[in-house]
Every structure is written in structure tokens, then in C-alpha cells.
Amino acid sequence: MKLLFSNDWLLKTIPTDPDDEPEAGGTIDPSVHEAQMHSENTAVIGERNVVQLRIALGTLVRQLRLKEGLSIVELAERADVSEDELRLVEHDPHYTARPRLIFQLSEYFQVQLVKLSQMSGTTHAVNRVLYNEAVRYAARSDDVSALTDEERQALDAFVSMLNERAEM
């Protein structure tokens, strides 16, 4: 059985019900979902590609956290998420983040939910441009305690790309 939830329902439910596990399949907005499924830029990806996207997601979350000078504990408190789950997202590319975590990180870092969901591997169809940019971004980024100027520029450019309202 396939369930679709409205954006309004998710926006009200996820922040207020942390134990609720709504399905995290395709996008929520049916018009966006329809456009995604018929776009030439969208592909269904395999497990190897999902792992690569999750590596990019972990790198993105870690670098956004470092950019703000936050520890995992501080980010968990500010974004109202689990410290353990943040650690898993940052360091275990085989971990599937719960929809609530992705939603909270999207809200906290002001990054499009649809694109973070795709990076988490919870959607079946992924934008090819997003995939290519995410993998390229992760390959250029090292896991260091402080961001270099080059890493900060790569992070800013990638976040800008994530927030573009282009065709999915």
C-alpha cells in the first residue's frame, strides 16, 4: 500500500510527533512527484549510489555544523534531534536517516527538504544533477576539524545548488 501525505500534514506532524514514522518514499507534493518521475534528469538509483549520496549527506551535515562552530551535542539540541542519529548520519553511510531527522536538518540549515531526502536515500528517484554534484562535493571535502577556505567555498556552492528551484 502506498501512502501519500500532504505538505501541510507533514509540516504539522513531524515536528510535534517525534515517534511517528511517516513513509519516506517519493516527494510529498503530487505535482512535484509527477514532474520528477517524468523528468529526463531523474533516475532510480542502486544501493552503491545510495551509499555515495549518504556519504555526501554526512559530509554536508558535518561541514554545516563545523561552519557554525557547533559540536554534535549542540546541533542536536538546536535542531531538536538525536545525538546518536546525527553521529550515524555523519559517519555511517549505510544508516538510513529517519524522516524527522531529515526534516529537522532541512529546517535548521534552510536546505530544501526534497533534496536532503534524496541525499538520505529514502526516495526512489534521484535528480541526476543532484547526485553528480553531491558526489563531486563529497570527493572535494576532507573530514577535518576546521574548514579550509576551499572547503567553505565548496560548501557554500553546494548549499546554493541544493536551494535552487530547478526542475527535479
Domain with residue 137: its CATH number is 1.10.260.40
Tell me whether residue 150 is in a domain. Answer: yes
Q: Which structural domain, as residue segments, surrounds residue 57?
A: 41-162
Asked if pLDDT for residue 131 goes beyond 80, the answer is yes
Q: How many domains does the chain have?
A: 1
Q: How far apart are CA 155 and CA 26, in angstroms?
A: 26
pTM over 0.75: no
| Burial class of residue 3 (count of CB atoms within 10 Å of its CB; 0-12, 13-18, 19+) | exposed
Asked if pLDDT for residue 93 goes beyond 60, the answer is yes
Asked if pLDDT for residue 118 goes beyond 70, the answer is yes
pLDDT: which is higher, 147 or 103:
103
Tell me whether residue 31 is in a domain. Answer: no
Tell me whether residue 77 is in a domain. Answer: yes
Other Cβ atoms less than 10 A from the Cβ of 51: the count is 14
| Burial class of residue 72 (count of CB atoms within 10 Å of its CB; 0-12, 13-18, 19+) | middle
Tell me whether residue 23 is in a domain. Answer: no
Tell me whether residue 168 is in a domain. Answer: no
Tell me whether residue 27 is in a domain. Answer: no
Residue 164: per-residue pLDDT: 82
Helix 128-140 vs helix 149-162: angle between axes, to the nearest 10 degrees? 170
Tell me whether residue 113 is in a domain. Answer: yes
Instruction: Give 128's pLDDT tier (boundaries 50, 70, 90).
Output: confident
Asked if pLDDT for residue 6 goes beyond 70, the answer is no
